[in-house]
Structure 1
């Protein structure tokens, strides 16, 4: 229901595996993986302004408050963005009703469910599970970046973390708007990936060249947000 079947048949899985073998970092880009109509419903809810909260990370501490943030210098700050607040849907708006309100959480749950994790396991040839993850739900969420936000260079290679997924939800994204995901790559050859709508990026965070950042949004698109889902997965 959430996936477009042609992207998860046997031949497609084989093609993704081949991509992992020849790329640095080990990654695959899949356009159109998810059902477009259902993503459209999700996007309507993401545009609600009241459901977002600022999130800040430094290299020495995650989820810092404003007081901690002000005490750190710019070199220590590597993430400033908005994170979606579960349960913050305003069901009184004209764009939503109770069934629509459920779909945004339904999608997050699907991304941590057996069906989707089985697809990832087939691609990466590793058994993924939330069996030993203390709080699985915090490892899958919606994020947005505005013109003043940033994601500086960092690595996602926590012990046991096998797969990282990024899904972009930016309809009619302009080629000059910025916001590209950039892998450091190897041999001074970074890899740039535009945040196009329904583009899914899967990568092995422990593979060579997987350190990454996000290019700043272009100031001439000051009224534009860059939306994505980020999800991290562990093995047994």
Structure 2
């Protein structure tokens, strides 16, 4: 239901694996990995305002409260964005059920098996205490930011970014930027149904997000982020 089958045939998997090993950082960009009709329904849910809450991280602490945030110097702040509140039961908002379903799919055997094939490593949640908190939707406005940081941690093999920005324009900002190597950064536009998979322990994988151009009130950059571990 969720995958675009033409993007996961054996020849496509081989191409992804080649792209990974030849790039710095080790990453692959896959456009159209997911079935667009289903993804359109998810994007519709995300444009509703009622299930979003602000998330703030500093370099020294995650999930910083407002009081601590006000005392944190700008140079120590690395994330300010909105997090989709997945705790609401679908009965409260039946439309949100498909967004919840997609999050569950991304932590299911079918999708993690696909990642295992691409990265040639066994991806599993067997040792992950709370898998569900490692896959969710986020949005950025012009006043938000994701500054330079690394996503590596022991056993973490794959980071996935999926962009959910319909009709995104070239001057909208919000590009992902990898540090790369030899002062040659890698910049990736957040186009709709574009999936970026990367190895967070590979050289040059530190990254940040360019500012969103918020000339229109209510403009947001939407994405899904998911982290995966090996055994």
TM-score relative to the length of structure 2:
0.97
Matched, 1:171 2:170: no
Unaligned runs of at least 5 residues, structure 1 = none
Distance in 1 between residues matched to 2:213 and 2:184, nearest whole Å: 23
Question: What residue is the counterpart of 1:107 in the other structure?
Answer: 102
C-alpha separation between the residues in 2 aligned to 1:19 and 1:90?
A: 39
In the TM superposition, what are the counterparts of 1:1-236 in structure 2 within 5 Å?
Answer: 1-88=1-88, 98=94, 100-236=95-231
Consecutive unaligned residues in structure 2, runs of 5 or more: none
Q: Secondary structure at the match of 1:103?
A: helix
Relative distance call for 1:91 and 1:174 in structure 2 (3 A) is farther
Instruction: Say whether the 8 Å CA contact 2:83–2:137 is kept in structure 1.
Output: yes
CA deviation after TM superposition for structure 1 residue 90, in Å? 8.1
User: How far did residue 101 of structure 1 move?
Assistant: 2.8
For residues 14-64 of structure 1, give each alpha carbon's deviation from its aligned partner in whole angstroms, at most 9, with x where no partner exists: 000000111000000000000101011111111111100000000000001
CA contact (8 A) 2:90 2:97 kept: no
SS in 1 for 2:215: helix
Of 47-56 and 217-226, the range deviating more from structure 2: 217-226
Rounded to whole Å, the distance in 2 between the matches of 1:205 and 1:165 is 10
Q: Is the 8 A contact 1:28 1:203 kept in 2?
A: yes
Query: Shift of residue 71 of structure 1?
Result: 1.1
TM-score (norm 1): 0.95
Q: Equivalent residue of 1:104, what SS? A: helix
Moved over 4 A (4+): 89-92
SS state at 2:57 partner: strand
